[in-house]
Amino acid sequence: MKAQVLQQTVDLQVNPEPLVFSDYPRPEPGPEEVLLQVRFCGVCHTELDEIEGRTPPPAFPVIPGHQIIGRIADRGSAVTRHAVNDRVGVAWIYSSCGHCRFCRQGRENLCPDFLGTGRDVNGGYAEYLVVHQDYAFKIPEKLVGSETAPLLCAGAIGYRSLQLTGLKNGDPLGLTGLGGSGHLVLKLARHHFPDSEIYIFTRNLVQQDFGLELGATWAGNIGTPPPRKLQAVIDTTPAWKPVLAALECLLPGGRIVINAIRKESTDSNLLAQIDYPRHLWLEKEIKSVANVCRSDVDDFLHLAAKLDIRPEVQVYPLDEANRALYDLKNKNVRGAKVLAVS
């Protein structure tokens, strides 16, 4: 099969073509696994973190990609949940142990044996992949085409982030960054919290306009004080400065939710920069979002179908995956990027 393969971590400034378009052996499904023929795979910021070594794959070579839509081409002898030709998706959660205290509490995203698709095992930048039947998501019929792929990570993790804010209708919400995940959070928040004002913080003027188009109340540069204080902020940027700036914008008791596995910037000593009275006093909170649970993905897919939430996408052919990553890295982002695989 054709696949985009990562052989080692690289510095994208030095080598802007990290993936090698190769012939790769097609995997065989185990007894409880399904073989997916990949149709679309979303391009996520986490791929940049893997490639540049901030959350490196444990072994090479590896095929990245974790927002995968495809059809079941074959299945193992013990598979009962899916039939050949069913349309399913695969998300960042490739597997979890199922019996640790986190898994038993429905917090499989925190499982110590959590495996991420396209980092710990081969993902969707390829014509085929295998996955356990319990980790393949049925795609609601209303969701069609390339627009469905980003729902599996950008959407599902955005949904989890929005829940972790504890926001109530009418509470003002801030979003720092408005890429693949941020713009879906904005669409979802418009539905869930119709009386909440939404404030966008980004230095990218395209994203500022995009946010206003999608119903934000206000858009400004990171560090510009918004016209009012905010109950919660969801941060989807690769840097720390927006987190510090957002802390200053919070109401007493407000919360910032950081939706990023790793930050790109080297000024990573956030604590050293926190001025307690200015940034944290009055019960302000900082919370990270780790991975996703299957319920996040399932719930969000059904919500997206019901509320007709569709991401804006830019589609690239599989053989141009490096160009999609380059564009993502260099912030030419409006909506989400998707590879058309087969």
Residue 119: is it exposed, middle or buried by C-beta count within 10 angstroms (0-12/13-18/19+)? buried
Q: Which two tokens stand for residue 277?
A: 């009275």
Candidate residues 44, 250, 260, 313; the one interacting with Zn ion per rule CB under 5 A: 44
Contact positions with Zn ion (CB under 5 A) in 138-177: 153
If the CB atoms of residues 129 and 250 are measured against Zn ion, the closer one turns out to be 129
For Zn ion, which stretch binds (CB under 5 A), given 27-35, 96-104, 160-168, 325-333? 96-104
* 251 touching Zn ion, by CB under 5 A: no
Looking at this protein, which amino acid is placed at residue 184?
L
Closer CB to Zn ion, 38 or 103, in the complex = 103
Which residue's CB is nearer to Zn ion, number 146 or number 196? 146
Residue choice 1, 10, 73, 100 for contact with Zn ion (CB under 5 A): 100
Peptide bond into 61 cis (omega under 30): yes
103 part of the interface to Zn ion, by CB under 5 A: yes
Task: Name the residue among 66, 68, 87, 82 with its Cα closest to residue 142.
Answer: 87
Q: Cα 57 from chain centroid?
A: 17
Site string (105-134) toward Zn ion, x via CB under 5 A: ------x-----------------------
Of 27, 49, 22, 30, the C-alpha closest to 38 is: 27
To Zn ion, the closest distance from the beta carbon of 260 in angstroms equals 10
- Closer CB to Zn ion, 263 or 279, in the complex: 263
Strand ranges for 105-249 from DSSP E: 115-116, 128-132, 137-138, 173-176, 198-201, 218-220, 230-235
Q: Rule CB under 5 A: choose which of 10, 12, 73, 97 binds Zn ion.
A: 97
227 pairs with which residues across the strands? none
Closest CB 314 distance from Zn ion, rounded Å: 16
- d(Cα 281, Cα 224) in Å, to the nearest integer? 20
Please state the length of the chain.
342
Residues near Zn ion (CB under 5 A), total: 8
Sites of contact with Zn ion (CB under 5 A): 44, 46, 96-97, 100, 103, 111, 153
